[in-house]
Amino acid sequence: NAGVMQNPRHLVRRRGQEARLRCSPMKGHSHVYWYRQLPEEGLKFMVYLQKENIIDESGMPKERFSAEFPKEGPSILRIQQVVRGDSAAYFCASSPVGTDSYEQYFGPGTRLTVT
Amino acid sequence: AQSVTQLDSQVPVFEEAPVELRCNYSSSVSVYLFWYVQYPNQGLQLLLKYLSGSTLVKGINGFEAEFNKSQTSFHLRKPSVHISDTAEYFCAVSANSGYALNFGKGTSLLVTP
């Protein structure tokens, strides 16, 4: 049973470019969460999605960041016009439908470097 | 909102010695508590969780944690560590009516021979 998949594992972008991070949840999971880990910091919640719905995006920066989880395919975190401060590790987690344990399964992360 | 404080950024310990990693939280509502481990260049793996019931929770790899509501703590312990336990450990909290995990800054456990 494959775990949460994220790609790419490492991504280098120049300032002003776009970054697209992909997350495939575990089989049978329809809830996806994105977190960001800045250097020397813990993970910070960004957004919670279900298929075709954004449930909570209270942790997303107001500009340049967007997320989607289409009916088919992976969840995408998109960062437009990246800046140096966007350099971080971005983790995706998934959970199964109807869970009451709030147990989230994490992927290996995408490490974004903005030069 | 909930927040987590991990009091030690680094904990060096010798192999086979006991270890305690400290975690305190603040919240105005009932919470769920978690400990995750992150090995270098890997994602987070759940060690253990407290949802309700017994305040002593046992997890994988011989770790355990105790929920102390009066002291708002959830310290992680292991009686005898191995070299392979070297990793970053994160304490996390969520409201039991919510889903977003709030993480501490992490504690780096370094086990040496």
Residue B34: is its pLDDT beyond 90?
Answer: yes
Q: What is the pLDDT of residue A1?
A: 53
DSSP-assigned letter for residue A103: -
Per-residue pLDDT at B8: 94
| Nearest in space to B33 (alpha carbons), one of A28, A49, A5, A101 | A101
Residue B44 sits at the chain A interface (C-beta within 8 Å):
yes
pLDDT at B40: 84
Distance between B16 CA and the closest CA of chain A, angstroms: 28
Name which of B32, B90, B99 is nearest A48 (Cβ-Cβ).
B99
The 3-state secondary structure of B26-53, one letter per residue = ECCCCEEEEEEEECCCCCEEEEEEECCC
Strand, helix or coil at B85? helix
Say what the pLDDT of residue B52 is: 86
Count of CB atoms situated within 10 Å of the CB of A98: 7
Q: Measured on CA atoms in the order A98, A74, A49, A19, is the torsion positive or negative?
A: positive
Which of A26, A35, A45 to probe by mutation at the B interface, max B CB count within 10 Å? Answer: A45
A52 CB near a chain B CB, below 8 Å? no
Q: Give, for all 115 residues of chain A, the pLDDT tens digit.
A: 578 999 999 999 999 999 999 999 999 888 999 999 998 788 999 999 999 999 999 999 999 999 999 999 999 999 999 999 999 999 999 988 755 557 788 999 999 999 9
Confidence bin at B16 (pLDDT 50/70/90): very high
Distance CA B48, CA B35 (A): 6
| pLDDT-above-70 percentage for chain B | 98
In this prediction, residue A28 carries a pLDDT of 86
Residue B90 has pLDDT above 80, yes or no: yes
Judging contacts by C-beta atoms under 8 Å, the chain B residues touching residue A43 are 44, 90, 92, 101, 103
Give the integer Cα–Cα distance in Å for B47 and A88.
24
Secondary structure of residue A4 in the 3-state scheme: coil
